[in-house]
């Protein structure tokens, strides 16, 4: 029996969000043999593009923006999907699986995939000031790059992964860069004190001023243009360009009246299903991870791909829980970090290969008697080889002590 004859295959699929997870869902559906009509609805005017290069190669100018495009036009055409771009979804009726758009379209489908990602958080009042940026989209990256090329003093608000990457890229462009945020080292939340200490040294050596461990209370401005960032200590960090990288919120406002459960993302079961015939994928999805026994939501590029493949399978009737070992990477200067699994704040961390001072090492994170994560610093292969330890521990029953 072909997928077309399979009673479980939906007659029509609608994917809302035309980016990494949305596009991969379509590709996986076609690879698995689904031949029915597919519509992809996106609010951005661009063909699907990749976000990781935006804070790295696109921002630095090493790549022309077109290089971030995910697929050439002929590969998109070969998918035989209808792309409706530049038209945001504004509502969903789950009973009829109909999505309404800002321009007045009503798109009905038998399976709807929510792939709308996240939106950058902002500081109150920042929209009204020139020189203040967030970085989520290609357009954000191009406007920020133009401002960096014209500017001299950048303050990055937010010491997480994105803020740290932007600080690194801006330094390589020659700006005077200050990184500020409430934690005491770059990426302290994501990688813990040991590795974030090494990152702090790296940024300092490269000339970034770290003004960490204190909150930001607002921005200062003159005639509509930002002039600085005010800290909780009342100190003002002068700036002609500011990037606000304080995290992101799931793009679910358009679902407010849908009746779907929304709680830090679209809440889904272990099959990434929010309701019968409605799925969520990528950064916006918060699903029940059976290996962990709880809801999780991941904001990383590999999950966008892997979860999309799982959702395509679920749409076509495969009955398997989605239980990935999370993975993300970050590039800052010549440091390439790969993180497999979870790095909880209370974890014990050992360097199991390489050398911290040489900045080439693998660190293993243990918590509650289990290996929960592995981090590689310029040792991608060695880190990947230790991933199995996390898989084994995820599959094992929880220790009783
Ligand atoms: C600058 C940057 C650098 C990154 N670097 C890394 C990295 O080094 N490593 C890593 O692992 N991950 C990285 N990430 C994260 C990674 O890019 C994301 O996890 C990935 O893009 C998620 O894909 P997605 O398709 O779920 O969401 P998104 O890529 O956010 O796509 C969602 C799409 O839906 C659209 N949309 C939103 N609302 C609506 C609506 N109402 N109607 C229609 N369309 C809508 C959005 O505009 C967007 O086009 C980075 C992200 C950014 C922003």
Count of domains observed in the chain: 3
What CATH number does the domain containing 31 carry?
3.50.50.60
Ligand 1 centre distance from Cα of residue 116 (Å): 8
Q: Is residue 328 part of a domain?
A: no
SS3 116: coil
- Find the DSSP H helices in 206-353: 301-315
Ligand 1 atom showing the smallest separation from residue 303 Cα = 19
Whether residue 240 sits in one domain with residue 139: yes
Nearest to 191 by CA among 343, 390, 22: 343
Whether residue 256 sits in one domain with residue 359: no
Pocket of ligand 1 (CB under 6 A): 16-22, 41-44, 51-52, 54-55, 88-89, 115-118, 135-136, 162, 251, 254, 282-283, 299-302, 304, 328-330
Whether residue 173 sits in one domain with residue 267: no
Which domain, by its residues, includes 180? Answer: 122-246
Print pLDDT tens along the chain (401 aa): 445 455 568 989 999 999 999 999 999 999 999 999 999 999 999 999 999 999 999 999 999 999 999 999 999 999 999 999 999 999 999 999 999 999 999 999 999 999 999 999 999 989 889 999 999 999 999 999 999 999 999 999 999 999 999 999 999 999 999 999 999 999 999 999 999 999 999 999 999 999 999 999 999 999 999 999 999 999 999 999 999 999 999 999 999 999 999 999 999 999 999 999 999 999 999 999 998 899 999 999 999 999 999 999 999 999 999 999 999 999 999 999 999 999 988 899 999 999 999 999 999 999 988 999 999 999 999 999 999 888 877 665 554 44
What CATH number does the domain containing 365 carry?
3.30.390.30
Whether residue 280 sits in one domain with residue 233: no
| 126: Cβ contacts below 8 Å, ≥ 6 apart | 132, 219, 242, 244
CA 142 – CA 147 distance, rounded (Å): 9
CA 52 – CA 158 distance, rounded (Å): 17
Ligand 1 atom showing the smallest separation from residue 299 Cα = 19
Whether residue 20 sits in one domain with residue 65: yes
| 178: Cβ contacts below 8 Å, ≥ 6 apart | 153, 154, 155, 156, 208, 209, 210, 211, 237, 239
Residue 285 pLDDT: 99
Residue 125 pLDDT: 87
CA 339 – CA 365 distance, rounded (Å): 10
Residue 198 pLDDT: 98
CA distances from 294 to 33, 125, 132, 268 (A): 32, 36, 37, 11
* CB-based contact 107:101 (threshold 8 Å): yes
Residue 401 pLDDT: 40
Closest Cα to atom 26, ligand 1: which residue? 282
Pocket test for ligand 1, best of 24, 26, 283 (most atoms within 8 A of CB): 283
Closest Cα to atom 15, ligand 1: which residue? 300
CA 190 – CA 379 distance, rounded (Å): 18
Whether residue 126 sits in one domain with residue 242: yes
Q: Is residue 329 part of a domain?
A: no
């Amino acid at each position: 029996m072909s997928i077309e004859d399979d009673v479980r295959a939906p007659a029509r699929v609608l994917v809302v969000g035309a980016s990494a997870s949305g596009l991969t869902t379509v590709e996986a559906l076609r690879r698995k043999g689904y031949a029915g009509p597919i519509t992809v609805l996106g609010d951005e005017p661009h063909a699907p593009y990749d976000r990781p290069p935006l804070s790295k190669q696109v921002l630095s100018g090493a790549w022309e923006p077109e290089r971030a495009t995910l697929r050439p036009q002929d590969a998109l055409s070969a998918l035989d999907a209808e792309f409706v771009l530049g038209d945001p979804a504004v509502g969903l009726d789950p009973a009829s699986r109909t999505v309404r758009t800002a321009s007045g379209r009503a798109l009905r489908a038998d399976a709807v995939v929510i792939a709308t990602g996240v939106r950058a958080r902002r500081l109150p009042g920042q929209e009204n000031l020139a020189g203040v940026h967030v970085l989520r989209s290609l357009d954000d990256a191009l406007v920020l790059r133009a401002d960096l090329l014209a500017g001299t003093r950048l303050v990055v608000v937010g010491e997480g992964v994105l803020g740290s990457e932007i600080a690194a890229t801006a330094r390589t462009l020659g700006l005077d860069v200050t990184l500020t945020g409430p934690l005491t080292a770059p990426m302290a939340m994501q990688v813990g004190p040991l590795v974030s200490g090494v990152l702090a040294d790296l940024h300092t050596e490269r000339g970034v001023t770290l003004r960490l461990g204190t909150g930001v209370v607002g921005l200062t401005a003159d005639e509509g243009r930002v002039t600085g960032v005010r800290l909780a200590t009342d100190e003002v960090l002068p700036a002609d360009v500011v990037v606000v990288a304080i995290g992101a919120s799931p793009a679910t406002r358009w679902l407010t009246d849908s009746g779907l459960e929304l709680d830090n993302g679209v809440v889904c079961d272990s099959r990434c299903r929010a309701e019968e015939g409605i799925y969520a994928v990528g950064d916006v999805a918060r699903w029940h991870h059976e290996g962990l026994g709880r809801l999780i939501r991941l904001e990383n590029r590999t999950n966008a791909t892997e979860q999309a493949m799982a959702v395509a399978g679920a749409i076509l009737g495969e009955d398997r829980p989605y239980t990935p070992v999370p993975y993300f990477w970050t590039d800052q200067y010549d440091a390439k970090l790969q993180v497999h699994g979870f790095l909880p704040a209370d974890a014990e961390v050992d360097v199991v290969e390489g050398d911290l001072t040489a900045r080439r090492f693998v660190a293993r994170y243990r918590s509650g008697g289990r290996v929960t994560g592995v981090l590689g610093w310029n040792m991608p292969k060695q880190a990947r080889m230790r991933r199995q330890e996390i898989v084994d521990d995820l599959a094992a029953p929880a220790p009783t002590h």
